[in-house]
Each structure stands twice: as structure tokens, then as C-alpha cells.
């Protein structure tokens, strides 16, 4: 071997080691070599972990950044609010192509909005809620509340697998602040459906603090994943928004929480709220 080729080969070896090291430093559950996984494969997710996240729309945030946040915590199920269909499609693609995390998706569209979701004025993008689940989902329902307040609002529900067992999962976004009476009516509609299930997970942005009267129907049915957080002890609830209010909940009915975390993020005015669950 000539002396002139030795430095080139040595440099190539060093570069290869650097690339291996960078791949090894990915987020938990990352597998950057996995580009295409079977649709029914659950790989790299935490099987008993659920999350809720209001994406913030309109906000100047890239879908790759949103996907990276989700991949960092790798939930089995995540409920998204203020979600454009085209953004969720990109997030799901990034999760699979960059992190090897394969999710099924279900949408709870409540309106079509060109200003929020792009498209053309005569064909605007769909906007509302979405659920990403590593396991398949069935029995999807998409319900628009009779009165959305200042903007159409609704809830969606699916049946999927969390912690190895089938469970009904709801995802909602209640009316904006200073619309207490509207939220009370919406919460009553949602609670009536949740009450039909012995075990349920209710994810969402309720736009109300824990001791707000309009959440009374939900508290009568379920507990938040933060066991210290309840109406009578609202001051102990960890804030989930940039304005230091608890608006985001993981309500559990017939299911015990093991752990919970609020995950601040620079990509939304709402934090991610994560719950690891006991036997479902």
C-alpha cells in the first residue's frame, strides 16, 4: 500500500466511527437505519405511555421539530389538538423515517381553515384533533359540539391498545377562555359518552383550570394522571401552558397512573403532558 493512500483510509475510518457515534446518540427509541417498518409493528414506543399536546396553530414551528419532541418521549398514544391534517401527515412521516417509530393516525376534523392549514381558499386544509397510536385503532367517532363558541370544537374517540389491553381513548379541545357556559355544555356532552365506558383515557386541552365549575362533570367520572391535581387542591397542579395555567389533562377512568411529567417545549404555548399508566 502506498504511503499516499494511508491518510485517506485512516480519514475514512475516523469518519465512519463518528457516524456510528452520532447514530448512537439519538433520542430514546431511535433507530435511524429503519426506513420502512410493517404497519402493525410497535417498535421503540413506551407501551403504557400516553400524551396530550396542543400544537399551537398558527405558530411558526416546523413539523420536523414537532416530530422530534414526540420521538423523545415515544408514547404509545398521543392526542394532538389544533392539528392540521397535512401537518400531522408530515409529523407521522418524520417519526417513521427519522426515528423508526410507526404510528397509525385518526383525525377528528371540526372545520376547514385556509388561514390555519393552507390549501386554497376554495379547498382549505382540515383542522381539529388527531390521535397517533402505535397500535391499530378501530371504532372511530368524530363529534362536533352543538355550540363551539368562537370556533367550532369537538371530540373524537377511538379504541386502541395501551399497555397491552384494549381501551377507549378520547381527544378533545374545549372552547376558548372566557366562554365558561359554552365549555360547560361541551364537557357535559363529552362526559355523557365517557360515562359509557368502565375504562377510558380522555386527552385534551380543556381551556379551564382544575377548579373551574365547567369541569365538574369530568371530575365526577375520572381523575387526572397527576394524583395531586384535583379541584380542591388546584394550587398543587403543575401548569401546562406558557401562562402558568393547568389547561391540559389526561383524565383516567378505571385506570391508575404510575407516573406523570409535564414536558416544556419551545415549539408551542402548551407543554406536552405525559402519563405512564398502570394496568389498563
The three-state (H, E, C) secondary structure of 166-208, written as one string: EEEEEEEECCCCCCHHHHHHHHHHHHHHHCCCCCEEEEEECCC
Give mean pLDDT, residues 50-60.
93
- Note the pLDDT of residue 60: 79
Give mean pLDDT, residues 85-97.
97
- Note the pLDDT of residue 280: 65
Burial class (CB in 10 A: 0-12, 13-18, 19+), 11: exposed
Sheet holding 200-205, edge to edge: 138-144, 154-162, 165-173, 200-205, 248-253, 223-224
Q: Tell me the whole-structure pTM to 2 decimals.
A: 0.84
When the candidates are 3.60.20.10, 3.60.10.10, 1.20.1260.10, 3.30.1490.20, the CATH number that belongs to 8-277 is: 3.60.10.10
- Note the pLDDT of residue 2: 40
Res 139 pLDDT > 50: yes
Q: Above pLDDT 70, what percent of the chain? A: 84
Domain residue extents for the chain:
8-277
Spatial separation of the C-alpha atoms in residues 237 and 224, rounded to whole Å? 10
Give mean pLDDT, residues 118-127.
90
User: Helices 85-99 & 63-73, crossing angle to 10 degrees?
Assistant: 60
255: CB partners within 8 A, 6+ apart: 167, 199, 200, 201, 277, 278, 279, 280
- What is the per-residue pLDDT across 198-255, written as a single tens digit (0 to 9) for each? 999 999 999 999 999 999 999 999 999 999 999 999 999 999 999 999 999 999 999 9
CA-based nearest residue to 71, from 88, 92, 87:
92
Average pLDDT value over all residues in the chain: 87
Sheet holding 272-277, edge to edge: 104-112, 126-133, 75-84, 46-54, 272-277, 257-263
Amino acid at each position: 500500500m502506498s504511503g499516499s493512500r494511508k491518510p485517506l483510509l485512516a480519514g475514512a475510518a475516523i469518519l465512519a466511527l463518528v457516524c456510528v457515534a452520532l447514530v448512537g446518540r439519538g433520542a430514546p427509541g431511535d433507530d435511524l437505519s429503519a426506513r420502512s417498518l410493517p404497519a402493525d409493528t410497535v417498535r421503540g414506543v413506551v407501551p403504557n405511555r400516553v400524551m396530550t399536546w396542543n400544537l399551537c396553530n398558527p405558530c411558526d414551528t416546523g413539523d420536523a421539530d414537532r416530530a422530534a419532541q414526540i420521538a423523545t418521549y415515544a408514547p404509545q398514544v398521543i392526542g394532538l389538538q389544533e392539528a392540521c391534517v397535512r401537518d400531522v401527515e408530515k409529523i407521522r412521516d418524520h417519526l417513521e423515517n427519522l426515528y423508526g417509530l410507526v404510528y397509525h393516525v385518526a383525525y377528528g376534523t371540526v372545520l376547514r381553515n385556509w388561514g390555519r392549514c393552507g390549501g386554497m381558499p376554495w379547498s382549505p386544509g382540515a383542522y381539529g384533533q388527531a390521535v397517533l397510536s402505535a397500535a391499530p385503532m378501530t371504532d372511530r367517532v368524530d363529534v362536533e359540539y352543538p355550540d363551539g363558541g368562537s370556533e367550532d370544537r369537538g371530540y373524537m374517540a377511538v379504541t386502541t391498545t395501551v399497555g397491552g389491553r384494549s381501551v377507549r381513548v378520547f381527544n378533545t379541545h374545549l372552547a376558548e377562555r372566557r366562554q365558561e357556559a359554552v365549555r360547560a355544555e361541551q364537557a357535559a356532552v363529552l362526559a355523557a359518552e365517557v360515562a359509557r365506558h368502565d375504562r377510558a383515557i380522555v386527552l385534551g386541552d380543556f381551556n379551564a383550570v382544575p377548579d373551574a365549575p365547567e369541569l365538574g362533570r369530568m371530575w365526577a367520572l375520572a381523575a387526572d394522571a397527576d394524583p395531586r391535581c384535583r379541584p380542591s387542591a388546584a394550587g398543587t397542579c403543575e401548569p401546562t401552558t406558557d401562562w402558568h395555567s393547568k389547561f391540559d389533562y389526561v383524565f383516567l377512568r378505571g385506570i391508575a397512573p404510575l407516573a406523570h411529567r409535564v414536558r416544556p417545549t419551545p415549539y408551542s404555548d402548551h407543554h406536552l403532558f405525559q402519563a405512564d399508566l398502570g394496568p389498563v
